[in-house]
Amino acid sequence: MDSAEQKILDLNVLLLGPPQAGKSATGNTILGSVEFLSQLSPAAVTQECRLCCKTFPGFLRRQGCELALRLRVLDTPAYPSCLVSSEQVKQDIMASAERAFVTGPHVVVLVLRADVPFCKEDWQLIQLAEDILGPSWRNHSLLVLSHYDSVDRAKIRGEEYLRLAPGALQALLESVSTGTTFWTTPRNGCRERVDP
Ligand SMILES: Nc1nc2c(ncn2[C@@H]2O[C@H](COP(=O)(O)OP(=O)(O)OP(=O)(O)O)[C@@H](O)[C@H]2O)c(=O)[nH]1
Ligand SMILES: [Mg+2]
């Protein structure tokens, strides 16, 4: 590794979630710009995996030296899918993640809608995170509950939402150690974080 390479910190992010959960919008939020097509559709918008790489020079200082952050975000088609074979999507995602990330994904962002019930199919998503990251997947996964603005409009506050959530979702929230984020309405394709 030469000195130029040492000044770059890589962060590989893999987005996963069911149809229309807000995966692409989340990717845009992470990148801070509109890179992925994010739109309402009765069909799948993202049909194949797409990598976006962005470098943020001087992002942090370590031992008196400035480091750039190189963010690689892989947007993926919906999984599990109700439109095409979920097994095929799973194979595509795993193959694309292997191609995109030489050192593997560092963080898997699981995007679920806060305003629709957590159902048993969602466990397939968790299983995929585990297949990709291995047994320590919980330590390297972030759960994003999108469409929190709808929950907010229904005047359900964060704590109450968590109390009302089915046991399976509560177990997931407890097991994902990197924390949960609630997101509000997209603005210009990006979103803002709100506190639960
Ligand atoms: N109100 C609201 N709308 C959202 C939120 N997140 C995403 N959306 C909207 O939901 C729609 C789908 O968002 P996408 O980012 O395309 O979702 P996706 O998971 O990438 O969708 P597919 O690629 O079709 O699986 C878009 O119209 C977004 O603007 C949110 O937190 N609140
Ligand atoms: Mg998408």
Q: Where are the domains of the chain?
A: 3-194
Is residue 78 in contact with ligand 1, taking CB distance under 6 Å? yes
pLDDT for the residue numbered 191? 61
| Residue 25, ligand 1, Cβ within 6 A | yes
Tell me what pLDDT residue 1 has. Answer: 43
In sign, the C-alpha dihedral spanning 86, 113, 128, 107 is positive
- Ligand 2 centroid distance, CA of 9 (Å): 26
CATH number 3.90.70.10 given to 3-194: no
Q: Return the pLDDT at 195.
A: 57
CA of 186 to the centre of ligand 2 (A): 14
What residue's CA is closest to ligand 1, atom 21?
20
Distance 194 CA to ligand 1 centre (A): 16
Model pLDDT for residues 143-188, shown as the tens digit of each residue: 999 998 898 899 998 789 888 988 888 888 888 866 666 666 565 5
Q: What pLDDT does residue 180 have?
A: 67
Amino acid 121: pLDDT: 87
pTM value surpassing 0.75: yes
Kindly report, residue by residue over 85-107, the tens digit of the pLDDT.
999 999 999 999 999 999 999 99
| Ligand 1 pocket residue status of 38, Cβ below 6 Å | yes
Instruction: Please give the distance, rounded to the nearest whole angstrom, from the Cα atom of residue 4 to the centre of ligand 1.
Output: 38
Ligand 1 atom showing the smallest separation from residue 17 Cα: 19
- Residue 2 confidence (pLDDT): 44
* Per-residue pLDDT at 10 exceeds 70: yes
pLDDT in tens, 64-81: 889 999 999 999 999 998
Q: Read off the pLDDT band of 189 (50, 70, 90).
A: low
* pLDDT of res. 8: 92
For ligand 1, whether the C-beta of 4 sits within 6 Å is no
pLDDT digits (tens, 9 = 90+) for 20-66: 999 999 999 999 999 999 999 998 899 999 999 999 999 988 888 89
pLDDT of residue 77: 97
The ligand minimizing its distance to the Cα of 146 is 1
Phi, psi of 147 (to 5 degrees): 55, 30
Could you tell me the distance, in angstroms and rounded to a whole number, from the CA of residue 186 to the centre of ligand 1? 8
The finding on whether 68 has its CB within 6 A of some atom of ligand 1 is no
Choose among 136, 165, 135, 130: nearest CA to 148: 165
